[in-house]
Each structure stands twice: as C-alpha cells, then as structure tokens.
Structure 1
Amino acid sequence: MLDDVVLNFLRHLAKGLADQFGPNCEVVIHDLSDNYKENSIVAIENGHVTNRKVGDGPSMAVLDALRSEPDKLQDHTSYLTKTKDGRILKSTTIYIRNENQKVIGIFSINYDITELMMVENAIKPLISVASKEEQVSPIPQNVTDLLNELIEESTRQVGKPVPLMTREDKIKAIKFLNDRGALLITKAGDKISKHFGISKYTLYSYIDSSEE
C-alpha cells in the first residue's frame, strides 16, 4: 500500500482539485506499490465522469507503468481520452515514485470537455479555415473492457480479420498485446487464445517467437 501520509496528502489534493474545478473533473489515485493490477483505484473524486469507483481496475496508464522501465516512463499531460459512452475527456497522468524511482502509484485527472467541444464546434467555422482531427484513447471501466479494447486494437494493427490471418500475422498481433501489457491481466491468456483460435501453448510459443 502507499504510505498513509502520502495517500492522505493525495486524497486531500484530489478533493481540492475536484472542488476547484467542479463535477466535470474526476481525480483518481491508483496504488501500484504492490503491483496490484486488478483493483488499483484507492481513491476517486467525481467518479461519475467515467463511472468508476474505489476498487475498480486499471487504465492503460497503469499497465504502462507496470510494464515500463521507471527511467523511461514519463508523465503524460493534457491528452484526450474518451469514456465508454463517448464523452471526451482532457486527461493528465502523473506517476508517483518512491526513493528508488520505482513507480508506486498514479495520480490522474480527467476533465469532461464534451460540452465545451460542442461550443467549440459551433464557433469553429467562424474562426478557423481548417479542421484538425484529434486522436483519443478510451478509458475502460474495468479490466474486461480494457482487455477487449487491446484485443480489438491488435486486430486493427494487423489489418485483417482473424480467419484470414497467417501465423506471422497472429505473432504480430500477440506481440502487440504482450508489449502493451495485456498478459498482465488475470486470465488474459485464455481470452486471447480463444480470440485467435489457438491453444495457450501456441500463444506462449508465439510470444517466445516475437521476442527472438
């Protein structure tokens, strides 16, 4: 668990930010001190923004933190994400480290800008001569959603449906899943094997092949 002093400070900070910016501002604290993946959220303010609560599981930022080397992992500020029901959020992810620079937690802010974007779209024709499409990342409500999204993305990376995939295509897709930390999720191997129509033995042999 995160140190009580640190956790209490982060909880006060989260509440202060949520009070300052109102009900559209969700602030989340993930505890990664014991690599506890399935129920990493230990505090959350305005959880209605993403429909999450204390005890819920990780986002992609959590898996990245668990998979990456600490010195290569950088805070990520002011990027776009989206909820399962399609609302657009402006997000910031800050990694909490111990004295050895190991990531032991995540402090994240997700501000619902959906209505602000509607206003922007209404006035954009008056102030702009070109449009720019932003890329957004989904925020899963649970580990099942997260795994499903990763599996779908792995298929998009290959660019063809599973029945048409060659062995090399499947190795590429599974390498993507392994690199993104999907195999850290409990029983992910069963679901990934079923999706690609292979055995678990074949799945792990493909992982070994992708690392050669």
Structure 2
Amino acid sequence: MDLKMDFLTRLAKALSKQFGDNCEIVIHDLNKTSLDNSIVSIENGHVSNRSIGDGPSMVVLDTLTKKPEEIEDQLAYLTEVDGKMIKSSTIYIRDEKGDITGIFGINYDISPMVAFQKEIKNLIGIESPQSEESTHIYHNVNNLLDDLIQRAVDMVGRPVSYMTREDKIKAIKFLNEHGAFLITKSGNKISNYFGISKYTMYSYLDKEVE
C-alpha cells in the first residue's frame, strides 16, 4: 500500500469513527484492470450494503467518460439506496499529472433526521419542501447497467420493439456517454437488449444523430 492510500484508508476510518455508524466512507481505485471491483476500502458499508471488491457507482462511470480538467469535486448532494436518503460527497484523488486515480466518497444516512424533521413539521403545521432530485447507489454493476439501459430507453421515449435505427443510435450514444461500455462484458448485454449485433452496436458510436 502506497503512502497516499495508507493515509486515505486511515482518514476513512477516522471519519467513520468521528461521525458514527451512519457515515460510510468508501475509496475507489480507478487504476485497477477491472472496474467491476473498484472498491478497495470501505467503512460502515452497511449504509449502502457494499463491501471491498464491489463495483463502481454511477459517479465513477461518469468520471471516466470526462477529461480530468473537466471534473470537479461534488459536495453535499443527495443519493438513494434501499429507500434510505443519503447525503454524499465525492472527492477525486489525482496523481502528480492531475489525472484522476481514485475517488474518496462520503455517504451519510440522513433518513432518521429527515423522518424526525417531517414529524416536527407535521406537528407544527409547516408544509414539507419538495424533495430534491437524487441518484442511486448500486450494489453491483449488473444493477447499474440495467438502470443505464432503462434510462436510455426512457430518453428515447419508446420501447425497443418500436425503436427505429435512429432511436437505437441515440440510445447507444447515451450509454456510451454515461460510461456503460466501461463495465466488463456490457457489450453483449446491450447488443442483445437492442436486438443488434455487437458490430452494428459499435458502428452506431460513429454515426451522427439527426
């Protein structure tokens, strides 16, 4: 373990102890050969039901589709897992060249506090504010890929059986832009889902969408 990872691992443990069982700290190594098991350290993994060796989140895949200089830390945003409301922050780990080599994530389960807040507001007759848009934390890459495919279908606006060639090009490009093809063996599942060959699928990435 190098000095940077040793420090981050100790920092993760310290933060989890400081803020208690509802605070999950997770470290992703983006230098691994296979990103299907990008998590190399995690404290209080029960918050998202993940453990060492589990795969990437949507944030990780989005990171790998962008240039390092375009990426900024994401602080205090909402995620969701198994019905829990999670307040998350994503800090990017960089090397001397500025390239992103990992992710240091903080996920705090605020569900008990939100529930208490709602009870108080109900008691004093104040309307609850509309909930903010949230993303999801996935237990494995298969669930993540399934969600990405569904998002692509929703974006096109019609089921696969009714999609035109142009619709499928849009869907494939959407998946590529959101890092779906970074998931191991995702090409087989995606091409089968859209009823096209892998050759056709990859050729769609070079097509212009009208």
Q: Structure 2 matches for 1:141-152, cutoff 5 A?
A: 141-152=139-150
Q: Structure 2 matches for 1:30-41, cutoff 5 A?
A: 30-34=28-32, 36-41=34-39
In the alignment, which residue of structure 1 is the partner of 2:46? 48
In the alignment, which residue of structure 1 is the partner of 2:180? 182
Task: Give the count of matched residue pairs.
Answer: 209
Residues in 2 aligned to 1:113 and 1:123: alpha-carbon distance in whole angstroms: 15
In the alignment, which residue of structure 1 is the partner of 2:19? 21
Q: 1:35 to 1:95 in 2, by over 3 A?
A: farther
**More displaced stretch, 176-185 vs 31-40:** 31-40
In the alignment, which residue of structure 2 is the partner of 1:112? 109
Deviation, structure 1 residue 25: 0.5
Question: What TM-score comes out, normalization by structure 1 length?
Answer: 0.92
Report if the CA contact (8 A) 1:34-1:104 is conserved. Answer: no
Q: Which amino acid aligns with 1:160?
A: R
Report if the CA contact (8 A) 1:175-1:210 is conserved. Answer: no
In the alignment, which residue of structure 2 is the partner of 1:57? 55
Report if the CA contact (8 A) 1:35-1:66 is conserved. Answer: no
Report if the CA contact (8 A) 1:29-1:106 is conserved. Answer: yes
Identity of aligned residues (%): 54
Deviation, structure 1 residue 33: 2.8
Residues in 2 aligned to 1:13 and 1:68: alpha-carbon distance in whole angstroms: 27
In the alignment, which residue of structure 2 is the partner of 1:121? 118
Question: What TM-score comes out, normalization by structure 2 length?
Answer: 0.93
Structure 1, gaps ≥5 residues long: none
Are residues 1:197 and 2:195 paired?
yes
